[in-house]
Each structure stands twice: as C-alpha cells, then as structure tokens.
Amino acid sequence: MNKISAKVKKRIAANVTGYLLILPLLIGLVIFTVYPLLVSLFNSFFYNYDGFSPYSEFEFGFGNYARAFTGYESKVFWKSVGITFSYAAVMVPLGLVLSFLLALFLNQKTKGVGVFRLIYYIPCLIPSIVSSMIYLYIFNPYYGLMNDIFAAVGLPKSQFFNSDDYVAVVTYMFMSLFGIGGGMLIWLAGLKSIPSTYYEAAKIEGGGYFYSLVRITVPLCSPYIFYQLITNVIATLQICSAAYMISSSGGVDDNLLFFGLYIYRNFMNNNFGYSSALAYLLFVVVAVLSGILFRFNKYVYYEGDN
C-alpha cells in the first residue's frame, strides 16, 4: 500500500511541476485569447454597442447579426463577402499550383539552385506592412514603376489599386503572387521526403517524367496539399493588414474591402457590437469550410498507411 501511495505522490508531484512550468503560458492564453473571445461574443449580442456606454443602453438580441443581412449595411456586407471569396477562389488554387511548379523547378540538383530558392523566398521574409508600402510605390498610378513599364511597351496607364472596377482586386492578386515562396518551401520539404527508389522503380518499368509526377509525386505530396489548402483558405478569408496598408478605406467604391478589413473598419468606428458579430460570422464560415475540407482527409496519404 505504501508503494502505491508513493507512486501516486510521485505522479502528482510530476504533474504539479509540469503545470507550474506552463502556468505563465496558460495565464497569457486566458487573458489575451480566451477572455477577449468571450467578451467579443458577449458584445455581439448588444445592438450597436459602442464599447464605452453601459450595456443597459443597448438592446440585447441578434440585432447585430441581422444588421449584416438587412438594409443598406447588407450591400456593403455582401460586397465585402464577394470580394473576399472571389479572391480566395482564385488565389488558393493558383497559389498552390504556382508554388508547386516553382518547387519542382527548384528541386533540381543543379549548381547554384540554393541562390534561386533564397531569391524566391526573400519576399516572405519582408513584413506585410513593409511589402505593401513597396507595392504601393510600384503600382502608383502617377509615378509608379509598373505604369512606366506599360508606357514603354505602348500600353495605356492604369489606376491599379485606385481603379473603380475589378482591376483593383486583380492588382492585389498579382501583388500576392510574390508571396508564393512560402508555399514553395513547404513543397520542397515534401518533394525531398519522397524516396528516390520510387522514381527508379518507375523508370525501370518504363514510366516517364509525367507518369512519375502524377502517380508518385502528387499522391505522396497529398499531406502537403491538404495542409496548404487548409491554411491558405483560412489566411485568405482573414486578409486585413496588407489590404489596410494598400487602402485603409477599402478602395474606390469599396473595391478592396476584404472582410477582415470590413471588420476592422467597423471596430475603428466604435461599432464594437457589430464588428464582434461580423468576427463570429467569419469564425463560423471558417469552421464550416475547415470541417468540409477535413472530410477529404481520408484521401490523403500518410506514411505508414496501407
């Protein structure tokens, strides 16, 4: 009995020590993550809550959620949703494909290939705020480098981010393509993890490059496809900081009003209740899309699977 008691005491002591070591992290998690999440959820049920007046002055209910789908605000809401989902529908698959092709190109055993890997990855090391300032200069409609290139080849000048049509979003998409180096690095890790014996066996059996690509490379890289698909979908739906630097107001006629920026704009206008409701609407959408994507996890090959 004494031996068992000693083992239990030792286990309890070990657990207490572990919890004491992670206590600072747990305190930070509760104060800076859990508490704000609960407060924003609470605020979302007070219609037009401004963050300063007593809660008793505001109507409790689903008014903030209904506000997004009714009246004038619904036009701005749906336009923001349309811009965000259009961007995601184009950039998620395009980014996956281009970064994969780039990784295939840089996966060659060629002298100096490491330099090119570094060059393509450097834009990912630059903070989004700084890179946005650079792109603002490049795409400036009056003295920007891109319009100088257009003029040199005989093309008309463009307003780029200041355009009152789809050109603003297309310009933002083009700007985002410079960040595919991050995806390239993940693809490279996947390509390096595939044993060369698989390709040798395929070559012996008469399989060419594209046969090996389709039957070996892509299936064995499916975990990396799945990971990047999930993270890219979530990231594109939460775009805010870079879009804010390009146009804090959301662009001409709100043509760059991504949903994350729409939430931030309402928050800065002291619409705390409405912005909290919008944030939770985004949370629900991201959760649903993530759940749908995880249904395809059964098609992903993991090492050790039959």
pLDDT tens readout for residues 12-54: 777 887 888 899 999 999 999 999 999 999 999 999 898 888 9
| Confidence category of residue 1, pLDDT binned at 50, 70, 90 | very low
The whole-number pLDDT of residue 128 equals: 84
Domain contains 147:
no
Domain contains 53:
no
| Confidence category of residue 304, pLDDT binned at 50, 70, 90 | low
Residues 270 and 229 in one domain: yes
Residue 289's closest CA among 69, 92, 77? 92
Whether pLDDT at 116 is above 60? yes
Q: At what angle do helices 222-237 and 181-192 cross, to 10 degrees?
A: 160
- What's the number of domains the chain is made of? 2
* Angle (CA) 46 288 290, round 5°: 125
The answer to whether 273 and 64 have CB atoms below 8 angstroms apart is: yes
* Residue 23: how many other CB atoms lie within 10 Å: 10
CATH of the domain at 109: 1.10.3720.10
Q: At a CB cut-off of 8 Å and minimum separation 6, what does 231 contact?
A: none
Cα 264 from Cα 272, distance rounded (Å): 10
Determine the average pLDDT of the residues in 136-141.
91
Domain contains 168:
yes
The whole-number pLDDT of residue 3 equals: 53
Residues 26 and 166 in one domain: no
pLDDT tens digits for range 69-87: 988 889 999 999 999 999 9
Residues 22 and 81 in one domain: no
Domain contains 218:
yes
Determine the average pLDDT of the residues in 189-215.
89
The whole-number pLDDT of residue 99 equals: 94
Residues 165 and 204 in one domain: yes
- Torsion sign, CA atoms 291, 296, 302, 306: positive
The answer to whether 245 and 129 have CB atoms below 8 angstroms apart is: yes
Per DSSP, helices labelled H in 53-180 are 63-67, 71-105, 113-125, 128-138, 145-152, 167-176
Domain contains 295:
yes
Whether pLDDT at 114 is above 90? no
Q: DSSP code of 297?
A: G
Structural domain that includes position 23: 2-43
Whether pLDDT at 293 is above 60? yes
Residues 198 and 289 in one domain: yes
Whether pLDDT at 166 is above 90? no
